[in-house]
Amino acid sequence: MKRQRIFAFVKIQLQSLIKVPTALFIVLLLPVALILIFGFAFGSIYVEDYGWTGQSGYLFEFMVPGFIAISGLFMAIPVALSFSEDREQGLLKRINTTPTSAAEFMGSHVISNMIMAIIQVAIIFILTFLMGGMKLITLEGIILSFVIMVIFSLSTIGFGLITATISKSAKAAGGIVWIFLLPQQLLAANLYPLPPETQIVTMFMPLHYASDALTLLFYGVDLSNLRIWWDLMILVIFSLVLIVAGILLFKKYGRA
């Protein structure tokens, strides 16, 4: 693994965030818009005895964990699109003719996307705080939420890589990625109550664990609550499995 190659790739990936409007919109503007719209829409609705903790507060405060978790999902889109576009333009083939190893290539993309995820989560957290969506959570809870979101982003990068592998074009990738994202958004974001039967399905969705842990933390539940750590552990396993599967599949079938 040569640092010069990894830095070069990380640099151009981060440049793409600034220079490619689609990436900027999906990674930063869309989540920001989501928080702003729902913040203003539900920020003044006061609810009593809400959810399983029976707490009272503004509706936006209870929805925020789900929105933050959903924002992490968006990372899959630029990953899937950028790899598919690079393949369409023959860039993956060209890179394959240089001495760059698959580990350097994939590793640098995971690093750059993790940096993007950290920037994304930081902006969303700051915005949520400013919109008054962080009244119940403790400082330790905020730090742990941040870690959970970054780990969760890793799993969505894995989804992005799998999408790029099975998609023949960037256009196809833009559609296929929603097969992974939409069910998670609808069923696992904890935005609204769902019948218990859906739990069997959501057990296989990383977003379920991210949003569950975030919900607990944003409701001000103590960090000693084992459910948070259980969620985190499953999330780590999910992320590792998805990222390794994504890398292996992409390495074998996605580079040509």
Partner 1 sequence: MSKSENMKRASKGLIFGSDNPYAIEVKNLRKIYKGRKVIEEVKAVDGISFFINKGEIFGLLGPNGAGKTTTINILCGLLNQTEGDAFVGGYNIKKDLSKIKELIGVCPQQASVYQYLNAKENIKLFGNLHLVKKDIINERMEKFLELLGLAKASNRAAKKYSGGMLRQLNLIVALISDPPILFLDEPTVGMDARVRRTTWEFINSLKNTNKTVLLTTHYIEEAEALCDRVAIIDFGKLVALGPPKELIEKHNAKDLEGVFLKITGRRIMEGI
Binding site for partner 1 (CB under 8 A): 2, 4-5, 7-9, 12, 15-16, 19-20, 89-91, 93-100, 256
User: Could you tell me which of 38, 82, 71 has the C-alpha nearest to residue 150?
Assistant: 71
CB of 173 to partner 1, least distance (A): 17
Q: Please, which residue, 107 or 220, has the CB nearer to partner 1?
A: 107
CB of 86 to partner 1, least distance (A): 8
Q: Please, which residue, 94 or 168, has the CB nearer to partner 1?
A: 94
CB contact set of 32 (below 8 Å; sequence gap of 6+)? 123, 124, 127
φ and ψ at 46, to 5 degrees? -95, 130
CB of 102 to partner 1, least distance (A): 11
CB of 244 to partner 1, least distance (A): 23
Q: Please, which residue, 15 or 44, has the CB nearer to partner 1?
A: 15
CB of 90 to partner 1, least distance (A): 4
Q: Please, which residue, 45 or 256, has the CB nearer to partner 1?
A: 256
Q: Please, which residue, 91 or 130, has the CB nearer to partner 1?
A: 91
CB of 4 to partner 1, least distance (A): 5
> What are the residues facing 57 on neighbouring strands?
47
- For the record, the structure tokens of 188 come out as 């696992």
User: Could you tell me which of 158, 9, 10, 179 has the C-alpha nearest to residue 80?
Assistant: 158
Q: Please, which residue, 23 or 124, has the CB nearer to partner 1?
A: 23
Q: Please, which residue, 11 or 135, has the CB nearer to partner 1?
A: 11
CB of 256 to partner 1, least distance (A): 7
Residues in the chain: 256
Spatial separation of the C-alpha atoms in residues 29 and 239, rounded to whole Å: 25
Spatial separation of the C-alpha atoms in residues 136 and 34, rounded to whole Å: 21
